[in-house]
């Protein structure tokens, strides 16, 4: 069983509403694929940069099987919050993480991609939906909270709550915590989580523990045996 973490209700909408939210729905899915590709590029580049630091000067590292086969010298690591440079010989990438000659192959800060994405999405949202406070303009929903129950009746037994970490903490975007997520102050940023952190918290009465995302399927049927 695959526990559903994302829900697309587009097919449940009327044809009129589907025509309004369909373009945003499609574009958001495209952006998610692009973001995932950029995360892979950044992670691979940082790993290669770290390897270059630990290797003796002059050593030559080979790229992985998915990259060009010619050897390249990897560049040094960069400080946290900055985009890593693209080592010479790596495939050049564009705004979507695909082959391109843009900016010599280096990725821009993730905030710049997100700003362009937001502008593109805003242009696709009909004005009547923008004015409808609280409505979903995409038909896409993410599961962030779960309540389970074990017992013979609703007023007896045991209830537990599960909340996704990203619903409670600021999320780093491209390794940086957005200003809006921190409220402009330094405090919350210390508890920020990585963008690819999919783990949850388990609330069992007063006991709160970390709950790995790969265990979510065990909640089916009330989480018996947890």
**To which H or E segment does residue 114 belong?**
helix 110-124
Q: Report how far apart, in Å, the C-alpha atoms of 168 and of each of 144, 154, 162, 163 are.
A: 10, 28, 12, 8
Residue 226's pLDDT band (cuts 50, 70, 90): low
> What residue ranges do the domains of the chain occupy?
11-131, 144-219
Nearest to 68 by CA among 88, 84, 85: 88
More confident residue, 25 or 184: 25
CA dist 63 and 73 (Å) reads: 10
Judge contact between 207 and 195, C-beta under 8 A: no
CA dist 109 and 173 (Å) reads: 9
Q: Could you tell me the pTM of the whole model?
A: 0.63
Residue 66's pLDDT band (cuts 50, 70, 90): very low
CA dist 149 and 158 (Å) reads: 6
Alpha helices in 55-109 (DSSP H): none
Nearest to 191 by CA among 175, 177, 211, 209: 177
Is residue 214 classed as helix, strand or coil in its secondary structure?
A: helix
CA dist 122 and 203 (Å) reads: 37
Range name among 102-106, 117-121, 198-202 with the lowest pLDDT average: 102-106
Q: What is the pLDDT of residue 84?
A: 45
Is residue 201 classed as helix, strand or coil in its secondary structure?
A: strand
Query: What would the pLDDT profile of 123-163 be if each residue is shown by its tens digit?
Result: 999 999 999 988 999 999 999 999 999 888 988 899 999 99
Query: What would the pLDDT profile of 7-17 be if each residue is shown by its tens digit?
Result: 899 989 999 99
Residue 49's pLDDT band (cuts 50, 70, 90): confident
Q: What is the pLDDT of residue 209?
A: 96
* Helices then strands, each counted (H, E), the chain: 4, 6
């Amino acid at each position: 069983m695959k526990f559903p973490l994302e829900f697309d209700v587009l097919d449940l909408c009327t044809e009129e509403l589907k025509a309004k939210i369909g373009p945003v729905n499609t574009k958001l899915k495209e952006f998610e694929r692009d973001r995932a590709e950029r995360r892979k590029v950044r992670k691979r580049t940082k790993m290669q940069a770290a390897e270059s630091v630990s290797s003796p000067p002059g050593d030559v590292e080979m790229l992985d099987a998915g990259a060009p086969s010619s050897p390249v010298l990897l560049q040094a690591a960069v400080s946290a919050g900055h985009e890593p440079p693209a080592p010479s010989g790596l495939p050049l990438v564009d705004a979507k993480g695909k082959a391109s000659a843009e900016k010599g192959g280096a990725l821009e800060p993730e905030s710049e991609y997100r700003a362009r994405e937001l502008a593109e999405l805003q242009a696709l949202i009909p004005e009547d939906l923008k004015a409808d406070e609280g409505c979903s303009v995409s038909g896409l929903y993410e599961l962030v909270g779960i309540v389970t129950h074990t017992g013979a009746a609703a007023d007896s037994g045991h209830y537990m709550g599960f909340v996704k970490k990203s619903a409670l903490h600021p999320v780093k975007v491209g390794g940086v915590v957005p200003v809006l997520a921190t409220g402009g102050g330094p405090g919350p940023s210390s508890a920020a989580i990585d963008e690819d952190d999919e783990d949850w918290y388990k609330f069992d009465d007063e006991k709160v523990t970390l709950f790995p995302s790969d265990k979510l399927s065990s909640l089916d049927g009330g989480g018996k045996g947890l």
